[in-house]
Chains A and B, each alone.
Chain A
Amino acid sequence: NAGVTQTPKFQVLKTGQSMTLQCAQDMNHEYMSWYRQDPGMGLRLIHYSVGAGITDQGEVPNGYNVSRSTTEDFPLRLLSAAPSQTSVYFCASSYSRDSLGGYTFGSGTRLTVV
């Protein structure tokens, strides 16, 4: 099925551990982005990419790294997890950043850092 696929759906990490959240889309979208959702805070942009090889920071980039080696994949890396990174993470994509059709979201990764 076409769409945005995120893995894993759930993850528990210990403080200081590293991990990669995976995001893949099969719609040939150039634009991909990562948001985190915290209670009462809405969705905040972490990093985004307007095409393969191009990434940029969003509103809350500290503690996260991204790369975009292919059009399809946009992984989010936590180098040294902290309890403040406990959140639900969403990946989104669209044909372009100024897409008139809005963004398509994945179903999320719920991360707990203990």
Chain B
Amino acid sequence: GQQLNQSPQSMFIQEGEDVSMNCTSSSIFNTWLWYKQDPGEGPVLLIALYKAGELTSNGRLTAQFGITRKDSFLNISASIPSDVGIYFCAGQLYGGSQGNLIFGKGTKLSVKP
């Protein structure tokens, strides 16, 4: 089946630093989504991307849908302690039997004050 390669697996950064993570796939997607999971909670949607080349921001977060439709990245600027958590990318291909969300394995972010 389809697989997403998300990197890095983990990051340990200083407060105030910028963060970048990405996701690649061997297959194309119609939609790329980025979720954040806080400890003990379910994933929460951060940003949704629907068009190749699309660049979308949500506060300090910026994400892009790759031109090839096979990749996406998420940037976090000026990190703060509450950014700690696991970030998941997810891809979706509409129609047929493949319309369910497929998730990457996550990037665990730790922020040192």
Contacts and interface: CB of A to CB of B under 8 A. Distances in A.
Interface stretch (B11-19, B42-50, B67-75): B42-50
A11 to B, nearest CB: 15
A107 B33 CA distance: 19
Contacts of A106: 42
A33 B100 contact: yes
Given A102-B48, A106-B42, A42 B105 contact: yes
13 contacts: A41-B105, A45-B101, A92-B42, A100-B31, A100-B50, A102-B33, A102-B35, A102-B48, A102-B101, A103-B45, A103-B101, A105-B44, A108-B42
Interface in A21-59: 33, 35, 40-45, 48, 56, 58-59
Nearest to B3: A42
A101 B48 contact: yes
B100 A107 contact: no
How would you classify the secondary structure of chain B's contact residues: helix, strand, loop or mixed? loop
Interface of A: 4, 33, 35, 40-45, 48, 56, 58-59, 90, 92, 97-98, 100-108
A42 B100 contact: no
B66 interface: no
